């Protein structure tokens, strides 16, 4: 299983698989690969809140930055939704239905020479307001629940404290949330 976790799915500009690469090599060479970002919401004291995580300091990039509830890469031959559910449980000990809400491409280069070039699939889910979160300390330093308005305000005031993909992924998650509210 350890070797499998270190391989990412290379994709073309339309998210069609074109091969596989060792994860670190893909990040060193800036190869476009499949990824996912999960956002978990809850209704708490009359407001919708979002669960954020602060990445562990020793992560190979973006250590100590705030980001969505969880994010990672599917294994080769693993469905992206299945991978998102798996990682949500592994990183945050949460199990909840997830809904795909869109995808986007981004590229971000880091001071350590690594590059994220991802086709990022975004998923959203709802948790009970009393859900217990237990983080994997290898992945997550800490977490917090914040109202959506507070998240947006904090990001606007301190964008450097968030991962480079956070804003684009959040836009998709919030657009989906807004669509669901309008349909009710």
* 71 in active site: yes
Counting the structural domains of the chain, the total is 1
Distance CA 128, CA 150 (A): 20
Which of 71, 91, 116, 139 is flagged as catalytic? 71
* Mean pLDDT calculated for residue range 35-42: 97
Closest CA to 40 of 99, 104, 102, 105: 99
Q: What is the pLDDT of residues 62-118, one digit of tens each?
A: 878 999 999 999 999 999 999 999 999 999 999 999 999 999 999 999 888 889 999
Whichever domain contains 96, its CATH number is: 3.90.79.10
pTM: predicted TM-score of the whole model, two decimal places: 0.91
Domain that holds residue 156: 2-183
- Whether 138 is catalytic: no
Q: If DSSP codes are grouped into helix, strand and coil, which group holds residue 7?
A: strand
Q: Which of 91, 116, 118, 139 is catalytic?
A: 118
In this structure, the dihedral spanned by the alpha carbons of residues 94, 131, 148 and 84, taken in order and rounded to 10 degrees, is 10
Residue 122, helix vs strand vs coil: strand
């Amino acid at each position: 299983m350890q070797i499998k976790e270190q391989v990412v799915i290379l994709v073309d500009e339309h998210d069609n698989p074109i091969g596989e690469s060792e994860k670190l090599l893909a990040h060193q060479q800036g190869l476009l690969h499949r990824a996912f970002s999960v956002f978990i919401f809850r209704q708490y004291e009359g407001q919708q809140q979002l669960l954020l995580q602060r990445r562990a300091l020793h992560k190979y990039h973006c250590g100590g930055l705030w980001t969505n509830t969880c994010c990672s890469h599917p294994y080769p031959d693993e469905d992206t939704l299945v991978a998102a559910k798996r990682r949500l449980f592994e990183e945050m000990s949460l199990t909840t239905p997830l809904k795909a809400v869109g995808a986007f491409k981004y590229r971000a280069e880091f001071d350590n020479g690594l590059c994220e070039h991802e086709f990022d699939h975004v998923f959203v889910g709802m948790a009970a307001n009393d859900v217990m979160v237990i983080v994997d300390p290898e992945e997550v330093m800490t977490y917090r629940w914040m109202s959506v308005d507070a998240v947006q305000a904090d990001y606007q005031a301190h964008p450097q404290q968030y991962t480079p993909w956070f804003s684009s992924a959040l836009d998709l998650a919030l657009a989906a949330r807004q669509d669901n509210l309008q349909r009710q």
